[in-house]
Amino acid sequence: MGQAVAILWAPDALPAQVPAYIHAAERAGWSTAHHQRGIWIGVLGPRLPVVQVVAEGRLLLIGEWRPRTAGPATVAPADPVATARTLVDASWGRYLALLGSPDHGFTSVLRDPSGAIDCAFWTDGPCTIVASCLPDWLSETSSGGFRPDVERVADLLADPTLLSGPIALTGVTAVAPGEWRAFAGSSAQLWRPADFGRSASDPGGLSAAILRDAVDGAVHALSEGTALVEVSGGLDSAIVATARYALQPEGRAVWTNIWGPYVEADERDYARAICDRLGVDLTVIERTRPLGADGLCLEHPRALRPSINRMDALYDQDQAALVGTLGADLVLTGKGGDVVFYQTATSAILADRLCEHGLAALFDPCLPVLSRRLRRSAWSVLRRALTSSGRARRFGGSGRPALALIDRDVAHRRTRPHPWLQDLEGLAPGKRQQVVGLASNLSLHGLSRRTEAADLVHPLLSQPVMETCLRLPSWVLTGGGHDRLLARQAFADRLPPQIVHRRSKAELSAYYGHAIAAAIDELLPHLLEGRLSEAGLIDRVQVEAALRTDHLIWQGGYGDLMMLALIESWLRSWD
């Protein structure tokens, strides 16, 4: 989905800033999608957001919006909160909704629950700017200066889920997925994953059909156009790829697998098995370039947030180039499947059974299954499950660990949880872990070279799929503790047997380790002489030790190093 910026002002006057904003946007190649009394909307991107006026002066939608059932369009009531709630309950998509009145203009905004389009707003004199991104023309034209907020940066180091939470820039207000927020200050979180997780129930023999319908509906709606379909070789991308083919067999698509340069990351045989099942050709892209400093992206454009989609620089570049060569409209992925379908082996699944069925759950096959997967004794798994099931009735919180290598005081600072994690009271332990995973996966919608070239689409993180999987208990999704067993059963007739029965997964640690080792000369000054170090947010001694070759070989820790480098790059972009 492309990017959008809305400039809002009082309907009875045209501030002097507005023409300057519009001219700056047009010089930067942005198109005017909507312009009327009190509002201008500009768009940019490979698939431009649609602007739809639903109720003149009261409701305007930017993006893609679909009613859940056939029928007349939603009629906007006078109350903007009621309008927003109706949108969340009766529709889904990837959109921002501006709400207001003909007399006072648009005074509030709703961000759709999927979070696929980012949203922030700020004021510039008599204007309010609502934006999904922060292009140079916008930051340079604004009379207010943007600069990183060190306290918020410290918060996201202490709790990485906050990468998709409050924006770490002064004067900028973030809107959370599923949140309605008035520009004057009031807000309401109308959609939270936990609300669906609390109502999780076992629908019996209908589970697989319910899951399949939700996934098929999302894939069909979100994959129109020429698609570059990721076929990684794993279960999740296979489910999305085969759904795309089953629902649009005549649709234009290119089935791709990017591999190399290490054996443990080579998924070509599994990817070919999927494409053979569909009767389509697989386009294989090999990473033939030697890994150098360009394996990591140490540059970051000015943006609302650090984007994890830029971390694997070669993958990002290769896929963006492939999109351009093939003329694809969108990149279709299976990202998020490990969370929604429930891949994690955890005693929390047994704890959910205990919360629901009491001690009768001890005689369930779930206990020995989890014991084998976790390679722990049944008593150890049971003890953890009993402990967490008791805590779930009393406590909320995410339990997300801080990044390594940061200052000790930063690591132990108390942060306000991500908006999706502020009310987990009474949520079963397994569902709590699923909600935390969904909050973390919001970062997958971030900007990158791929999003500049095509629409990056994650159907498994759409609102209908998230709601469906949250309503299914963890033991139903896992078939009693197994790895995504319900999803395997729901799509078994479409998938090759080796994918249905596969339990292994590609391992990219060696690749990332080599990428970091090749970039040590650049990473050392990047982190030790950077903004994080100047602000006292990282432990310089630990960072320097972690970037020794012997430490990388024996200790790893690549993910946290890459995340610190990413945040540092984003901070430097504001110099």
Q: With helix as H, strand as E and coil as C, how does 262-280 read?
A: CHHHCCHHHHHHHHHHHCC
Alpha-carbon span 508 to 571, nearest angstrom: 27
pLDDT score at 520: 87
- Residues 61 and 69: beta-carbon distance below 8 Å: no
Tokens of 121: 């707003």
For residue 95, the cross-strand partners are 63
Tokens of 52: 């739809």
pLDDT score at 197: 94
**Integer distance in angstroms from the first to the last C-alpha of the chain?**
29
In this structure, the dihedral spanned by the alpha carbons of residues 379, 380, 386 and 389, taken in order and rounded to 10 degrees, is -140
Question: For the segment 457-494, what is each residue's pLDDT rounded down to a tens digit?
Answer: 999 999 999 999 999 999 999 999 999 999 999 999 99
Estimate the crossing angle of helix 348-357 against helix 366-374, to 10 degrees: 160
Alpha-carbon span 77 to 97, nearest angstrom: 14
CA distances for 162 relative to 110, 336, 501, angstroms: 19, 17, 35
Does domain 204-339+443-500 fall into CATH 3.40.50.620? yes
Give the number of other CB atoms < 10 A from CB of residue 266.
16
Question: For the segment 145-162, what is each residue's pLDDT rounded down to a tens digit?
Answer: 789 999 999 999 999 999
Alpha-carbon span 245 to 252, nearest angstrom: 10
Give the number of other CB atoms < 10 A from CB of residue 537.
24
pLDDT score at 393: 45
Sign for the pseudo-dihedral over CA of 196, 201, 205, 208: positive
Please report, for the chain, the start and end positions of each structural domain, with discontinuous segments joined by +: 3-191, 204-339+443-500, 344-440, 509-572
Amino acid occupying residue 560: D
Q: What does the DSSP assignment read for 69-134?
A: SSSSPPPPPS-HHHHHHHHHHHEEEEEEEEEEETTTEEEEEEE-TT--S--EEEEETTEEEEESS-
Which position has the token pair 């604004």?
142
Q: 399, 403, 464, 402: which is closest to 429 by C-alpha?
A: 399
| 3-state secondary structure at position 383 | helix
The CATH number corresponding to 3-191 among 3.30.830.10, 3.30.70.870, 3.60.20.10, 3.40.50.300 equals: 3.60.20.10
pTM metric for this prediction? 0.93
Alpha-carbon span 354 to 348, nearest angstrom: 9
pLDDT < 50 regions, the chain: 71-72, 392-397
Give the number of other CB atoms < 10 A from CB of residue 290.
10
